[in-house]
Structure 1
Amino acid sequence: MYELITKSPAETEAFGKKLGELLGPGSVVALFGEMGVGKTALTRGIAAGLGIPEGVSSPTFALVHQYDGRLPVYHFDMYRVETWDDLYSTGFFDYLDSGGVIIIEWSENIENAIPENAIRIHLKRGKSENERIISCEGVDL
């Protein structure tokens, strides 16, 4: 397990960019953490590391956004997913074999469906307003 503390959204994005540069086809990044803890900021950084310079936002209402960079990125928001039927309706399982990078916000809602080899990242609030504690499993940085 790898753990770091970031002091600002910009530092969280910078960490994401470093991670994004390491990802290959078929990578799955599962993000865990409460609302407002920086999952979308981290995703913006990962996307930047994959050659997507801007335009990344939370897909809360669309459930999935696609971005084209070095690899296609499929950014899921599973906040409203409560059942297996909900999950199937997102097309999630079809994307797993796409050869792109899948980034999942609210992974705690679909934990049993996340591939074993996924990178799991837990974000928590730190001591100050912008401080975040980020724990990573499944990747060496």
Structure 2
Amino acid sequence: MIGTVHHELSTVDDTRAFGERLARLLRAGDLVVLVGPLGAGKTALTQGIGAGLGVRGDVTSPTFVIARVHPPDPARGGRLPLVHVDAYRLGGALEVDDLDLDASAEDSVTVVEWGQGLVEQLADAHLEVRIDRLDDDTRTATLIPHGGDWADRLATL
């Protein structure tokens, strides 16, 4: 696909650092859909995004609460809230609608783990990030733009 970007991430720290770099490209209203097996590094990437956005509090997996909102922390140079969603336990798009994520989507960066096929309707364009964990514990991240100006933004990464 045109505009697709690939990165090799040797460690979990590399995954977090990559998330911080990715955060520099993010704007209010952005939707990022994370795809990958259990243990691939989706939450580690989101932790990096949170650090790059300068959000308040620790970014942890929202598996049991489904969604967490991390407001920007002015002391950390925070500029945008992060809505972090784990859709693993959700059964379908109707349950996603029940979360009312679109109420905060315009003002926040929304990152959804396990959201492929469930949340794309929240935005006209989105970024899909596929993370694969190889046998040697190396991760590969493939960033796939879906509409909007994502391809142009990814070219600067």
**Residue in structure 2 matching 1:80, options 76, 89, 99:** 89
**Residue in structure 1 matching 2:62, options 55, 59, 62:** 59
Superposition RMSD on alpha carbons, in Å?
Answer: 1.7
Q: How many correspondences in the alignment?
A: 139
2:121 is matched with: 113
Partner secondary structure for residue 18 of structure 2: helix
Counterpart AA for 1:9? V
* Structure 2 residues without counterparts, runs of 5 or longer: 73-78
Relative to structure 1, the CA distance from residue 77 to residue 136 in structure 2 (aligned partners, 3 Å threshold; closer, same or farther) is same
1:41 and 1:7 mapped to 2: Cα distance?
Answer: 13
- Superposed displacement of residue 122, structure 1: 0.2
TM-score (norm 1): 0.90
Counterpart AA for 2:92? T
Segment drifting more, 72-81 vs 51-60 = 51-60
1:81·1:109 contact (CA, 8 Å) conserved in 2?
no
1:48·1:54 contact (CA, 8 Å) conserved in 2?
no
- Superposed displacement of residue 22, structure 1: 1.7
**Residue in structure 1 matching 2:141, options 106, 111, 134:** 134
**Residue in structure 1 matching 2:9, options 6, 11, 18:** 6
2:56 and 2:5 mapped to 1: Cα distance?
Answer: 26
TM-score (norm 2): 0.81
* Structure 1 residues without counterparts, runs of 5 or longer: none
Partner secondary structure for residue 116 of structure 2: helix
2:55·2:82 contact (CA, 8 Å) conserved in 1?
no
Relative to structure 1, the CA distance from residue 18 to residue 112 in structure 2 (aligned partners, 3 Å threshold; closer, same or farther) is closer
User: Stretches of 4+ moved more than 4 A in 1?
Assistant: none
